[in-house]
Amino acid sequence: MKRRAFMNWVGVSFMATSLPVAIAACSPAEDTAEDAAEDVTEAADPCGATEAATEEVDSSVRDDGFAALGTVTELDDAGFLADKDFVAGAVIVIRDPANPDGIIALDSMCPHQGCHVDWTDTEFACPCHGSKFSTDGEVTDGPANEALGSYEAKIEDDLVLIQTT
């Protein structure tokens, strides 16, 4: 067998033997009882990333008038936290670019016609008519002509807290 023919034969043989393995590896596996037990163990692990990413916080209003919007971990992972239906009103929170330990909490409702602004990593932008706002909520581009409202906010332990009153 000549070298070229041999290499073609080896290539075809490799594809023929590895294809079923590749297909099996990409197929959804059925969970066994052992897998299910592992899943429960991972979910119960307080140090697990899955737990931190899906953690539910108690957002009821505390005695000091603050309520938790989410965790600092969630804020830092996503770059922002937002809730249109938060107990204090629509809110969006970012890290303060001038003070990495601080946070900025703004009313996410655009003063132009009431759409909710998005965080773009450098500014707030309204998806409806293109208004833009600086990190402190001031208008940098219309048609909005008023700044975003603000909330008092603080970090306590791993919670992002917003004043509700």
Cα distances (Å, whole numbers) of residue 21 to 14, 30, 69: 11, 16, 46
Q: Is 163 helix (H, G, I), strand (E, B) or coil?
A: strand
Q: Which of 115, 123, 134, 158 binds ligand FES (CB under 6 A)?
A: 115
- What one-character-per-residue DSSP string does 66-105 give? EEEEEEHHHHHHHS-EEETT-TTSSEEEEEETTEEEEEEE
Total residues contacting ligand FES by CB under 6 A comes to 12
Q: Which stretch binds ligand FES (CB under 6 A): 26-34, 86-94, 126-134, 157-165?
A: 126-134
Q: Do residues 142 and 125 touch, judged by C-beta distance below 8 A? A: no
Positive or negative, the CA dihedral 54, 90, 105, 164 is negative
Residue 139 binding ligand FES, by CB under 6 A: no
Provide the minimum distance between the beta carbon of 113 and ligand FES in the complex, in angstroms, as a whole number.
4
* Beta-ladder partners of 133: 124, 139
Residue 128 binding ligand FES, by CB under 6 A: yes
Residue 131 binding ligand FES, by CB under 6 A: yes
Residue 94 binding ligand FES, by CB under 6 A: no
Q: Which stretch binds ligand FES (CB under 6 A): 21-29, 53-61, 91-99, 109-117?
A: 109-117
Q: Which of 113, 122, 140, 150 binds ligand FES (CB under 6 A)?
A: 113
Residues that bind ligand FES (CB under 6 A): 110, 112-115, 126, 128-131, 143-144
